[in-house]
A and B are shown apart, each in its own frame.
Chain A
């Protein structure tokens, strides 16, 4: 059976991290499984974990006045669920539910924040990697906001 260290090492987000860094992160992680439709995150709840998605699919959701619950993004294998744990006030901005059976590594946020404070090299490396995730999501959101397909005729 693969260790948390091994599983993290196979995930694209952690690609190229030295083994000692993976060890530190793995020390904050456990394997978790979510069944289909299982609720994972409540909007505005404390962001005390994040998840390294290995298999399955998770939907980020927001409740809207007219349309009700809307999925604004899905996160699949190779993705990360949750960035709010990194930035004060450490509360979730959106809800999340599994839309398919999902396996992930759950990382304890306080544990990893503490290790990043103690080891700034690790903290800076992770911050750079999370910045890419945040940039990609910001770009995707901007594209979605432009309603690209609505104006596209044949």
Chain B
């Protein structure tokens, strides 16, 4: 049988087939963290909503679930920390390299449903990336929401993600931006302490607040607990879970927590659903 020429092979489609994207730019955010700007080579994936994630393929190595940090005119922005073989390969990519993209997957942040409410965003570490679209949307439609605040925690001043953006957001007068780090040298003039210590600083009306919390799970647990103690309704606290997602379509079961598949039932969940799931110990 004659071998099929690659260029005439029928295009494969399906939930497990990546769409080809090209790296348009690569920005170093931190020592080990980069943001890739990706544009479709030919066809594009469906437009993601804020809070969803894509599976990014480093061809020949593997794929990893990465949250959407921004989308502009069909271009995807993904912020990636180099922690394993796939993310190391993604972070090492150059402009013009090709990345496979599957997605978008999972649930997103429901900001539109919070019209008229106070908005409180709490982020820790790289958790700022998945909530960045919330900030962008807030600025685009600022008049639709009540008071707005971003509380950000990081390991140290050097580990603050999107520092330029944080400074730009802070310069605006229509959103409160508070930043704290776990430890710092004396030349740091900002706050030191856990992110929840920032809560008393920002004005919001707990019963009419929607909170979006994203970061390490322990931070989210303490954040949700403190928000609840202040009077924010549990169903108005949303968190983004991160588990061992492989297939992203609810087939493989790697990310299953209780009856939920984090990849398709999450990653964004109300605290009423997420709280019992976070009590399940990973093995």
Contacts and interface: CB of A to CB of B under 8 A. Distances in A.
B201 interface: yes
Nearest to A12: B200
Nearest to A97: B186
Chain B: interface residue count, which band?
Answer: 35 or more
A59 interface: yes
A149 B186 contact: no
A147 B194 CA distance: 11
Given A59-B186, A69-B185, A152 B216 contact: yes
B192 interface: yes
A97 to B, nearest CB: 7
Chain A: interface residue count, which band?
Answer: 20 to 34
B52 interface: no
A67 B189 CA distance: 17
A70 B78 CA distance: 33
**Residue with the greatest number of chain A CB neighbours at <10 A, chosen from B130, B180, B186, B190:** B186
Contacts of A68: 185
A111 interface: no
Interface stretch (B17-25, B80-88, B99-107): B80-88
B186 A148 contact: no
B155 interface: yes
Given A71-B186, A100-B189, A143 B159 contact: no
Nearest to A145: B182
B120 interface: no
B125 interface: yes
A139 B218 CA distance: 12
B94 interface: no
27 contacts: A59-B192, A61-B186, A67-B185, A70-B185, A70-B186, A71-B188, A74-B191, A78-B200, A100-B189, A136-B197, A143-B219, A144-B182, A144-B183, A144-B194, A148-B125, A148-B155, A148-B216, A148-B219, A149-B124, A149-B155, A149-B159, A149-B215, A152-B125, A152-B215, A154-B79, A154-B80, A154-B129
